[in-house]
Amino acid sequence: MRARAVRRVGLAVIVVGTVGCGGGKVAGDGGGGAGALGERARRVAEAWDGSKAAAVWRAGYHPVGEETRLPRGGLRDEDQQAYERRNLTARGALPDGGPEDGEVAWAAGGSGARPVVSAREAYEALAGPRAAGTPRLVVEEVAAGRMRIDTTRGPASVPAWVFTLDGYASPLVRAAVEPSPTPRSPIGPAHDLPGRRLDRLLDIADDGRSVTVVAVHGVCDDGPRVRARETRGSVVLTTSVVDREGEQTCTAQGKLERVVVKLRAPLGDRVLLDAVSGGPVPYRGPVPGW
């Protein structure tokens, strides 16, 4: 299948280590570089399509949406600061045990059981060491409930812990089930390609016809290019960058940039893969500060 180029949107700068500097070359995008990336994408797709790993991935629970839902309308300024600093405090005792069951029910049909986390584990994932003299977000009560979350298989209803907050009419809700482990890739990572690994998956469009990913590139290039190789069983993404003309002095920084990748067909249950790593593009939530 032919690869498609895509557009870039948004920008953030984060220190990630030493990066290459300009010289007018197309890194991983022209000549032998493009051919090597294309061949790698073909090999990754060939390894995954019809594999046991792909079947295990499709059957699993892999969130691609936030596992924590804030109260309707969001948090007030001081409370938002407290939340970002993980400065929460609970007034009462947290419930013992976990939700009654760990059933994940997909809107498109099908369900599965996953291990659940206790109310204390969910609370400790949100709360850090108490910082003196800073705003606190007060949890008044915790109860078991359910929430909707986006997954690689579409929307699903999952067990959740419902946190009643002081001063808010609607609660903060956090998923109470553990994601499925990532299956071992049938192909190992590539160590000699001009392309870079994708940092993370940010979003899958509601119609499945595009995905938003975060790509890494240097401060001395003209940005990342992400292409998709589509098969019936997978979508393999390759990332390259274009160096700027002329010699430049570069700092040890890199840029993380959102890239919207448009697909020829809806993603559906196809596995979204990173050509360099050889495995599924990871979802780790939004980049802090975006």
Q: How confident is the prediction along the chain (290 residues), in pLDDT tens digits per residue? A: 444 444 444 444 343 333 334 444 444 444 456 789 999 999 999 999 999 999 999 999 999 989 999 999 999 999 999 998 899 999 988 987 766 679 999 999 999 999 999 999 999 999 987 666 677 899 999 999 999 999 999 999 999 999 999 999 999 999 999 999 999 999 999 988 877 889 999 999 999 999 999 998 766 666 789 999 999 999 999 998 766 555 555 555 678 899 999 999 999 999 999 999 999 999 988 876 66
In a domain, 145, yes or no: yes
Indicate if 189 and 95 belong to the same structural domain: no
Indicate if 89 and 166 belong to the same structural domain: yes
In a domain, 114, yes or no: yes
Report the greatest alpha carbon distance in the chain.
64
In a domain, 84, yes or no: yes
Look at residues 121, 140, 175 and tell me which one is the last residue of a structural domain: 175
Phi, psi dihedral angles at 143 (to 5 degrees) = -140, 155
Indicate if 94 and 236 belong to the same structural domain: no
Look at residues 143, 175, 207 and tell me which one is the last residue of a structural domain: 175
3-class SS of residue 196: coil
Domain total for the chain? 2
Indicate if 81 and 165 belong to the same structural domain: yes
Nearest one of 191, 251, 255 to 36, comparing CA atoms: 191
Classify strands 137-151 and 88-90 as parallel, antiparallel or unpaired: parallel
Whether 242 and 222 have beta carbons less than 8 Å apart is answered as yes
In a domain, 240, yes or no: yes
In a domain, 147, yes or no: yes
Q: Which domain covers residue 144, as residue numbers? A: 68-175
In a domain, 2, yes or no: no
Indicate if 196 and 247 belong to the same structural domain: yes
Taking the C-alpha atoms of residue 74 and residue 76, their distance in angstroms, rounded to an integer, is 7
Nearest one of 125, 129, 141, 121 to 87, comparing CA atoms: 129
Look at residues 154, 175, 196 and tell me which one is the last residue of a structural domain: 175
pTM for this model (two decimals): 0.81
Q: Residue 271 burial by CB count (10 A; 0-12/13-18/19+): exposed, middle or buried? A: buried
In a domain, 289, yes or no: no
Indicate if 171 and 106 belong to the same structural domain: yes
